[in-house]
Amino acid sequence: MIADKFSSINFGRILIYSILIFFAFIYLAPLYVMFSTSLKDIEEIRSGNLLALPNDPTLYAWAKAWSSACTGSECKGLAPFFWNSVKIVFPAVIISTIIGAFNGYVLSKWKFKGSELFFGALLFGCFIPFQVILLPMAILLSKLGLSNTVSGLVLVHVIYGVAFTTLFFRNYYIGISTELVRAARLDGAGFFDIFRHIFLPISTPIFVVTIIWQFTQIWNDFLFGVVYSGAGTQPITVALNNLVNTSVGGKEYNVDMAAAIIAALPTLIVYVFAGKYFVRGLTAGAVKG
Amino acid sequence: MLNFLEKHLPKIVIAPTTLAMIVCMYGFILWTGLLSFTKSRMMPQWEYVGFEQYIRLFENPRWHVALDNLAVFLILFIAISLALGLLLAIFLDQKIRNEGVIRTIYLYPMAISFIVTGTAWKWILNPGLGIEKIFRDMGFLDFEFRWLVEQDMAIYTIVIAAVWQSSGFVMAMFLAGLRGVDDNLVKAAKIDGASTFRSYWHVILPIMRPVFFSAVVILTHIAIKSFDLVQALTGGGPGYSSDLPANFMYTFAFNRAQMGLGAASAMVMLFGVLAVLIPYLYSELRERET
């Protein structure tokens, strides 16, 4: 035992730890650079370098990024677009999760002729490159009068998010005993009774996983945002991209970085507090979808 | 009536999704496919022109740049992410203290959008004020690092940023796979006299084949969809030297009013994905049957 302990503190262990820590620094570096740049003034950015700590930290860049930076022709900062994203994300996440829960319940416990085919066909939707649906969707939205609206974006995110949410719930519910469902049916319990009394109480983990997955996906979306939003309804990713590419006067890298952190903050916070579930969602979506 | 409802309730519950799927997935794919055989520009125009758009597409030098970039990006992004992810997973699997913290650090970029990643790396790689300046401040006055503005090198900046964002995820997949490997197998290999390296190489890695497979499929999927990263990091530039097919499609379909051409490029992208996906799903299904 002692010999074992002794030999474990050898050159190999030190090498492994050094490599792991080295990479930890590499992964953290961009976040550090973003933060420290966002706290510097433009003079210091020009004279110092990326890795230097801010001499005289200032929140100027944060204030400007939030409320007065130009994102194209308007100069209202990211704030309005942050709220656009909130308005898009909340309904889209809730609706797609609820639909996914019921779909998954049916596909695992109320199978009917063709339900497997349906599931296979839906799964395919997790993989298609969205470029292939962009044009017709644009036309459908304009026919529905939803072009450039928040509701239009919610609809698009629900439609293309349901494939994933269904997959998550189906794979979770399939592990629950079918006997239980059969027994409840013999007792006269109906479709919704069984869902409410048997499935819902044990579904908290999968709801958390699905909600976190959908939240990150939709908050981080750029493609649908840039194609289907208009001047006043852009989500934060589109606004951030516009902000970075708008240079009225000199380029203010500190404002760019503050804006980038603002855009990343909601998903980062979710990740820090619910990382376990986030990883579970990723691997569930990964291994199957 | 009530009985009928009760009996068909599962189907009724599924119906809206079925409708949305048939119309918004398969219907739309068909629609885009048909559109790619027309000469539509600003608006859809249903005049059949055969393969003209595809011919135009493959005669367009910009499309070839995008395809070449995709090849470079796919190969490097996948190879580096796999190598790095596997290496970190194996090291993390050695009963490391504070493993949770390190794992969290490796994985957090995955929670961030490609737009934020692109914005951050655009600043880090800034010619003049970015990495170049760090080295010059250290005394290497002639140090140059301006890939971001070099036509031949811009695509590699996309690789760097994408690897930074996704390799932690590959690490997590491999780590989960390693944890699933039976400890006794490793012990048996060691008793037989295999070194740690050899036991990984000959015993553990072959078991992880499915994980490799899924990782490649997912990374391919991320790579083909990497539209936002390019948009934020290089804007496809300088010129169009770092365009990927997704950026090509967006530019022509939405900014240049070339719907037919955009549709054709989208269809080529779809077939590219299918070429990877179908063998994957096929082998998955076969595995499940045996």
CATH assignment, B53-289: 1.10.3720.10
The stretch B255-274 carries a mean pLDDT of 92
- Write out chain A residues lying below 8 Å of B218, CB-based: 286
Taking the C-alpha atoms of residue B50 and residue B53, their distance in angstroms, rounded to an integer, is 8
Cβ pair A244:B232 closer than 8 A: yes
Find out whether B96 and A13 touch, Cβ atoms under 8 Å: no
pLDDT at A288: 41
Of the candidates A103, A253, A261, the beta carbon closest to that of B17 is on: A103
Confirm or reject contact between A45 and chain B (CB < 8 A): yes
What's the mean pLDDT when you consider all of chain A? 88
**Percent of chain B beyond pLDDT 70?**
97
Cβ pair B129:A45 closer than 8 A: yes
DSSP secondary structure, chain A, as one string? -HHHHHHHSSHHHHHHHHHHHHHHHHHHHHHHHHHHHHTS-HHHHHHS-TTSPPSS--SHHHHHHHHT--BTTB-S-SHHHHHHHHHHHHHHHHHHHHHHHHHHHHHHHS--TTHHHHHHHHHGGGTS-THHHHHHHHHHHHHTT-TTSHHHHHHHHHHHHHHHHHHHHHHHHTTS-HHHHHHHHHTT--HHHHIIIIIGGG-HHHHHHHHHHHHHHHHH--HHHHHH--TTT--HHHHHHHHHH--SSS--HHHHHHHHHHHHHHHHHHHHHHHHHHHHHHHHHHHT-
Taking the C-alpha atoms of residue B144 and residue B141, their distance in angstroms, rounded to an integer, is 9
Residue A96's identity, in one-letter code, is S
Residues 140-169 of A with CB under 8 A from B: 140, 159-160, 162-163, 166
- Write out chain A residues lying below 8 Å of B44, CB-based: 139
- Write out chain B residues lying below 8 Å of A161, CB-based: none
Assigned token pair, A138:
């644009």
For B6-22, write each residue's pLDDT tens digit. 778 889 999 999 999 99
> Closest-CA residue in chain A for B84?
A23
Query: How far does A76 lie from chain B, in Å, by closest CA?
Result: 19
pLDDT at B127 over 90: no
pLDDT at B60 over 70: yes
Confirm or reject contact between A204 and chain B (CB < 8 A): no
Domain boundaries, chain A: 2-58, 79-287
Instruction: Name every residue whose Cβ is closer than 8 Å to that of residue A209 and which is 6 or more positions away in sequence.
Output: A168, A277, A280, A281, A284
Q: How many CB atoms lie within 10 A of CB B179?
A: 10
What's the mean pLDDT when you consider all of chain B? 88
Cβ pair B11:A112 closer than 8 A: yes
pLDDT at A111 over 70: yes
Cβ pair B29:A133 closer than 8 A: yes
> Closest-CA residue in chain B for A30?
B120
Residues 92-111 of B with CB under 8 A from A: 92, 94, 96, 102, 104-111
Greater pLDDT, A265 or B225: A265
CATH class of this structure's domain A79-287: mainly alpha
pLDDT at A282 over 70: no
Confirm or reject contact between A18 and chain B (CB < 8 A): no
Of the candidates B112, B129, B227, the beta carbon closest to that of A223 is on: B227
Of the candidates B105, B253, B263, the beta carbon closest to that of A24 is on: B105
Peptide bond into B238 cis (omega under 30): yes
pLDDT at A248 over 70: no
By the 10 Å C-beta count (0-12 exposed, 13-18 middle, 19+ buried), B18 is classed as: middle
Confirm or reject contact between B283 and chain A (CB < 8 A): no
pLDDT at A268: 93
Mutate to test the interface with B, among A38, A113, A132, A224 (most CBs of B within 10 A): A132
Cβ pair B231:A263 closer than 8 A: no
pLDDT at A1 over 60: no
Query: How far does A232 lie from chain B, in Å, by closest CA?
Result: 19
For B134-178, write each residue's pLDDT tens digit. 888 888 888 888 888 888 899 999 999 999 999 998 998 888 888
Residues 208-267 of A with CB under 8 A from B: 216, 219-223, 226-227, 237, 240-241, 244-245, 253, 256-257, 259-261, 263-264, 267
- Write out chain B residues lying below 8 Å of A241, CB-based: 115, 119, 231-232
The stretch B252-272 carries a mean pLDDT of 93
pLDDT at A7: 54
pLDDT at A239 over 70: yes
Taking the C-alpha atoms of residue B42 and residue B63, their distance in angstroms, rounded to an integer, is 20
pLDDT at A231 over 80: yes
Split at pLDDT 50, 70, 90, the class of B229 is: very high
